[in-house]
Amino acid sequence: MIPLFTKEEYEFILESNKIEAEPGVDFDHLHSFMDMKWKASESKTGNVNQGMILEWHRKLMKNKLRRMFGEYRKCAVQVGGKLMPNPVAVPHLMDEWIESFNKMDKTPWEYHKAFENIHPFVDGNGRTGRLLWAFDLLRRGKEVYPILNDFHNPDLVAHKDERWEDARQRYYQSL
């Protein structure tokens, strides 16, 4: 029997939920990850499009949001006191982000930070952004690994003896 996830992919999903202060695994995240992994394996170009991103957001958030899942935000949002781009600009900013992402001229971490700074959704940006990070790794032929792993992500420098929450805070601060 072929496993649906590698151990590292499963840890990636667990960690993504934990970053959002949701311990354990939820079915929506597993379903979205399986869909993303299938699309990455079937893609001849490794490209994403707006429809894929909106669909992954919808699958991730359909049981968490009452409305506005699977669509770009139409209201202003602040993250950590920082006002995110005007919602009117979000579709254009996402078109630019997708065009750049499809060129693969930046690192997965740079694309993740750029996505989070557009903050295209009312909620679920982190989950969707990390799903896109995993897609980017897979299309480059790399393994998906837990995000806060200091070996793979020197920007986050998560020392083994530190509390996990400290690494989580550095993740948010580095965005």
In a domain, 88, yes or no: yes
Catalytic residue among 57, 119, 152, 159: 119
Tell me the HSE value of 5 on the side-chain side, using a 13 A CA sphere: 21
Question: Using N-to-C axis directions, what is the helix angle for 125-139 and 7-19, rounded to 10°?
Answer: 160
Q: How many domains does the chain have?
A: 1
Within 10 angstroms of residue 40's Cβ, the number of other Cβ atoms is 18
For residue 166, the domain's CATH number is 1.10.3290.10
- Comparing CA positions, the residue from 160, 117, 142, 158 lying closest to residue 19 is 158
pLDDT of residue 3: 56
- pLDDT, tens digit, for every residue of 88-146? 999 999 999 999 999 999 988 899 999 999 999 998 898 899 889 889 988 888 888 77
- pLDDT, tens digit, for every residue of 67-91? 677 899 999 999 888 899 999 999 9
In a domain, 2, yes or no: no
Grade residue 36 by pLDDT with cuts at 50, 70 and 90.
Answer: confident
Q: Which domain holds residue 53?
A: 7-174
Percent of the chain with pLDDT over 70: 74
Q: Is 119 a catalytic residue?
A: yes
Among all chains, which residue has been given the structure tokens 């601060």?
173
